[in-house]
Structure 1
Amino acid sequence: MTYSLPTPLLPFLLVLMLCVLLAFGLSVAAWRRVNHSRRGWRVGAGLLASAGLWLLAFPPSQPLRSTTTEALLLTDGYSPDTLRQLLRQLGPGTHFWRYASLAASPDTPTLSNLAALRQRLPGLRRLHVLGQGLPAADLPELNTVGLVRHSGAAHTGFRMASWARSTQVGQPWVVEGYLNNHNSAAPVWVRLRAAGGLRDSVKLPNGWGAFRLQFTPKAEGRAVYQLDARAATANGLRLAPEPLPLEVVPARPLRLLLLAATPSFEFRFLKDHLARQGHAVALRVGVSRGLTQTEFLNQSAAAIGQLTPALLHKTDVLVADAASLTALSGTEAGALQAALRNGQSGLILLTDPAVALPRALPARSDFVLQLQAARAAQEPQAVYWAAAGSAKALVPATLRPAPALRVLVTTQGRQPIAAARRIGLGQVVVTTVTETFPWVLQGQTTSYASYWSQLLTAATPPNAPAATIRPENSWPRLNAPLTIRATALAPGPITVKATAGKAVRVALQQDEQMPDWVRGTFWPGTSGWHQASGPQTSSWFYVFSSQQWRGLEAQLRQQAATQWIAQHQPATLPAVAATTGSEPWSRWWGFGLFVLGSGLLWLEEKL
């Protein structure tokens, strides 16, 4: 404890004389009392009241270590133990603030932005951030200030999640992620709720780990599904539902041409299935030598002779068996090659294990058949693909793996039986499974539709480039800057409107490095769906609130901080010495002593 004489001295001397006179007067009065049994009590109480009055006016000071070149910033999920340890290390007088996202506290000031911090502490050289960290958009405001991260307790919840924000109606939609659970090792169910009910769930035996859920939307429009976690026991882990926004768009109608050398159940069931999906289907089947039969569904009839550039220009995907592709003339094979390389058409080939691959097959050398043993080829095997579970089919042959091939379907032993190969702008798909119609007869219509959707999606050429508007950040947050990027749009304003809010105009400027891109910054004021509209197109995106996906947000902030530290500050920061100052005692000590001494004197009078 230290004591220094205040300036000016006159008030100090006056209060000192008052306290001395008060102590002397109370002591004399106590000494002259008739009752001498409590004389010491009265003298002590008078001195205590005088000392309290003096401490109330001029409290002493105590030494206090602090620093003005370092500061602490508290964010969500910070550890109080880490805060106490840093204050002991840097000094109890070190400044610290709560970040704006935290709830206000009467004993801790709140900081809204880092620019205000640099104004309050001009000599700041190092900032300690406790908890989940700072948003990536705020890190550039640090400028030359060093950043030191102090992570809080590990978050219990969804650490990672990914899903397609848009899908076609009737297409399988998948949610993948990882659950952190540090509370217990009891089994946990991760559940997907969509379209008003529980659609899929997976059990994590250890209470944590990776998960994968799936659902097939049946209706178009925008929806917000939910992902939650519940322990198998009644008093175990319970996580609040997290939103899964999804826009379900109409399925893209395809123009399909099916070529079969002979009538078969495979092509008969396939053309009926594709027609029910709304695709325009044309089927040409060889009946006898020089005689073919044609059939058209969801389109007007037309002549189907040779494969010409005009015919292939009206065809998105060509599905053919090996015999039909072998029978193509050189002119037809050249037209097919050109259509593939120009991205006008795709090709799906159903192989025949009895004959070699057709010479007209583009990139034929990359597709090498490996025949199965006779017994294995006659017994149905389980086959797997990415979009949905599995089914059983005859597998007469497999494909030899190659670097240029993208595997689509495999056997249980991970042997590819369907693969895609890029040819210019188009795709060639080869499958060794030639009989999938038994799945329909067995009632496995979902597997049948999923399998052919997998092959058609891989072979379908991409849409022609069009104007697009989309946010660059996959996780837009409330009250956080969001960069909106548009392509094939002229620089100028676009309109962004929340579902239940006012429209906001966002100015777009041309990107310096990518002339075809224009960018603008939008500050979401409400959470939920937002529509961005431009002169030629519009799109929807979802804004998450600050309380949603907090575990994933912490991961993103830590990654952003790590990247910023690696790019903007050296590996080691120079040591900063703490300074020693003084802090006066609280005046409540003096007030308490004064009240205690006065109370004892009053009590002694009543006894």
Structure 2
Amino acid sequence: MTYSLPTPLLPFLLVLALCVLLAIGLSVAALRRSNRARRGWRLVASLLAVAGLWLLAFPPSQPLRTSTTEALLLTDGYSPDTLRHLLRQLGPGTRFWRYTSPTASPDTPTLSNLAALRQRLPGLQRLHVLGQGLPAADLPELGDLRLLMHPSAPRAGFRLAGWARTTQVGKPWVVEGSLTTREATGTVWVRLRAAGGLRDSVQLPAGHGAFRLQFVPKTEGRAVYQLDARAAANSGLRVLPEPLPLTVVAAHPLRILLLAASPSFEFRFLKEYLARQGHSVALRVGLSRGLTQTEFLNQPAAEIGRLTPALLSRTDVVLTDATSLTALSGAETGVLQAALRNGQSGLLLLADPAALLPRALPARPDFVLELQPTKSAQEPQELYWAEISPAKAVVPATLRPAPALRALVTTQRRQLVAASRRIGLGQVVVATISETFPWMLQGRPAVYGAYWSHLLSAVAPAVAPGPTILPQDAWPRPNAPLTLRTTGLPLTPITVRAPTGQSARVALQQDARVPEWAEGTYWPSTSGWHQATSGSTTAWFYVFGSQEWRGPEMQLRQQAAAQWQAQTQARIRPAVAATTSSQPWSRWWGFGLFLLGAGLLWLEEKL
């Protein structure tokens, strides 16, 4: 505790003289009282009352170690223990604020603008951020301040998550991520709820770790699925369910030409399945030498006896067996290769393990068949591809791996069953499985559909993208800036409609590097589905609630802070050591002493 003479001295001297006279008067009165038994108590109470008046007027000050070059910023999820440790290290007088939190306690000042730190602390050089961190969009406001992160321990919940925000009807949709728990909780089930029920689940024996769930949407529209975690035993695990917004669009119909050398169950089941999925199918089947049969589904009849440029211009995929491809003339082979290189059509070949690959196959040297041993060729083997659980089929042959090939379907031993090869702008796919219809006979249409959808997606020509409006933030939040990027649209403002019905116009600015891009900033005020419109182009995006998906958001903030630290490290000046200042005592101490002394005098007089 320190005490310094205030300026000006005149009020100080007047109060000092008044207190001295009051002390003398009260002491004389206490000594002259007839009752001498409580003389000492009266004297002490008189001095306490006078001391209280003095402290009320001129309280002493105490030394306080503080830092004028460093400050603390508290964000959601900060640890009070970390705050106390930093205050002991930097000094109890170090300034700290709570950043943009409406739930901050009344005794903690709030800060909503990082640029205001320069005005409040002109000599500030280092900023300690506690908790989940600062949004990436707010970091440029720091200028050349050095940022020091003090993240809190990760809470129990989904640490990472990823899923396609748009998918097609009938195609497998996958969500992947990882679950984090603070302590051992035993077995935990991660569950996917979609379309009004539980659709998939995975067990985590250790109570945490990576997971992968999938679901096949069957209806178009926008949906919000749910991801949750539940402990197998009553371990007290608390994980808030997280939303999974998804837009399901209609599958893009393909124009498919099937070429079969002879009737077979494989082509019969395949043409019926493709037609049910909405694809346009043209089938040409050889019956005998010089005699063929044609069939058309979901499209009018046309001439398909020979491959011509006109035929391939309205064909997306040519699916053929080895015998039909071998029978093509030189002119037809040239037309097919030209369509492949121009990206008009793709070629899917069902290889015949009993014969060599046709010479007409583009990039034939890269596709080399390897026959399976007799025992392996007769027993069904497990097949694996990206979107489905293992399925079994007879594999008479496999493909030799090559650098130019991309694996599509493999066996359990990583042998290639189907692979693709790029030819110009088109794709060639070779599959060694000639019979997949048994899956339909076994009542497994989902496996059958997933297999052929996987192959057709790999071989179909790329669809030219149209005008788009896309958010550039994976986790949009209310009251946070969101960049919207348009592609192929005029440089006119777009209209964004919130779930509440309110609309806002967003001005666009053309990107300096990519002229087809234009960007604008939108500030959502509520969570839920938002509609962005520009002319006839409409897009939907989802804004998450402030308490949803905090784990991935914290990861992004920490990564942004690390990048900012690396960029500003070279411009940082050395920090100045903490200084010492004084802080006056609270005047309530003097008021309390005065009440105590005056109360004792009054009580003693009444006794």
TM range (shorter): over 0.9
Aligned amino acid, residue 141 of structure 1: E
CA contact (8 A) 1:527 1:544 kept: yes
User: 1:252 maps to what in 2?
Assistant: 252
Give 1:497-576 correspondences, 5 Å limit: 497-570=497-570, 574-576=574-576
Aligned amino acid, residue 45 of structure 1: A
Give 1:426-505 correspondences, 5 Å limit: 426-505=426-505
Note the C-alpha offset of 1:102: 5.5
Larger deviation: 281-290 or 179-188?
A: 179-188
Note the C-alpha offset of 1:122: 2.0
User: 1:35 maps to what in 2?
Assistant: 35
Distance (whole Å) between structure 2 residues aligned to residue 434 and residue 488 of structure 1: 43
Give 1:376-395 correspondences, 5 Å limit: 376-395=376-395
User: 1:124 maps to what in 2?
Assistant: 124
| 1:62 maps onto 2:62 in alignment | yes
SS of the residue corresponding to residue 118 of structure 2 reads helix
Distance (whole Å) between structure 2 residues aligned to residue 289 and residue 93 of structure 1: 98
Aligned amino acid, residue 579 of structure 1: T
Note the C-alpha offset of 1:518: 1.1
Distance (whole Å) between structure 2 residues aligned to residue 414 and residue 29 of structure 1: 105
SS of the residue corresponding to residue 470 of structure 2 reads strand
| 1:95 maps onto 2:95 in alignment | yes
Distance (whole Å) between structure 1 residues aligned to residue 96 and residue 241 of structure 2: 34
Distance (whole Å) between structure 2 residues aligned to residue 228 and residue 434 of structure 1: 41
| 1:84 maps onto 2:84 in alignment | yes
Percentage of pairs with the same residue: 74
Aligned amino acid, residue 472 of structure 1: Q
Note the C-alpha offset of 1:536: 4.1
CA contact (8 A) 2:189 2:204 kept: yes
SS of the residue corresponding to residue 59 of structure 2 reads coil
Distance (whole Å) between structure 1 residues aligned to residue 414 and residue 215 of structure 2: 25
CA contact (8 A) 1:492 1:509 kept: no
Give 1:143-542 correspondences, 5 Å limit: 143-542=143-542
User: 1:11 maps to what in 2?
Assistant: 11
**1:258-309 deviation per Cα after TM superposition (whole angstroms, max 9, x unaligned):** 1111111100000011111111111111111111111111111111111111
- Structure 1 261/157 Cα, relative in aligned 2: closer, same or farther at 3 Å? same
CA contact (8 A) 1:71 1:126 kept: yes
What TM-score comes out, normalization by structure 2 length?
0.98
Distance (whole Å) between structure 2 residues aligned to residue 198 and residue 515 of structure 1: 46
SS of the residue corresponding to residue 569 of structure 1 reads helix
Count how many residue pairs are aligned between Structure 1 and Structure 2.
607
CA contact (8 A) 2:125 2:573 kept: no
CA contact (8 A) 1:186 1:236 kept: no
**1:85-134 deviation per Cα after TM superposition (whole angstroms, max 9, x unaligned):** 11112111111100003622211110001111222122211111111110
Aligned amino acid, residue 72 of structure 2: L
Distance (whole Å) between structure 2 residues aligned to residue 186 and residue 596 of structure 1: 60
Aligned amino acid, residue 476 of structure 1: P
**1:122-158 deviation per Cα after TM superposition (whole angstroms, max 9, x unaligned):** 2211111111110000001111111111111223211
SS of the residue corresponding to residue 589 of structure 1 reads helix
- Structure 1 7/208 Cα, relative in aligned 2: closer, same or farther at 3 Å? same
SS of the residue corresponding to residue 103 of structure 1 reads coil
CA contact (8 A) 2:225 2:245 kept: yes
Distance (whole Å) between structure 2 residues aligned to residue 327 and residue 602 of structure 1: 122
- Structure 1 96/388 Cα, relative in aligned 2: closer, same or farther at 3 Å? same
SS of the residue corresponding to residue 281 of structure 1 reads strand
SS of the residue corresponding to residue 575 of structure 1 reads coil
CA contact (8 A) 2:126 2:575 kept: no
Distance (whole Å) between structure 1 residues aligned to residue 401 and residue 571 of structure 2: 45
User: 1:585 maps to what in 2?
Assistant: 585
Distance (whole Å) between structure 1 residues aligned to residue 439 and residue 224 of structure 2: 33
SS of the residue corresponding to residue 476 of structure 1 reads coil
SS of the residue corresponding to residue 570 of structure 1 reads helix
Larger deviation: 41-50 or 17-26?
A: 17-26
Distance (whole Å) between structure 1 residues aligned to residue 533 and residue 269 of structure 2: 42
Note the C-alpha offset of 1:573: 5.6
Gaps of 5+ in 2: none
CA contact (8 A) 1:467 1:536 kept: no
CA contact (8 A) 1:230 1:236 kept: no
**1:489-510 deviation per Cα after TM superposition (whole angstroms, max 9, x unaligned):** 1212111112323111111111
Distance (whole Å) between structure 2 residues aligned to residue 311 and residue 573 of structure 1: 71
CA contact (8 A) 2:527 2:543 kept: yes
CA contact (8 A) 1:62 1:582 kept: yes
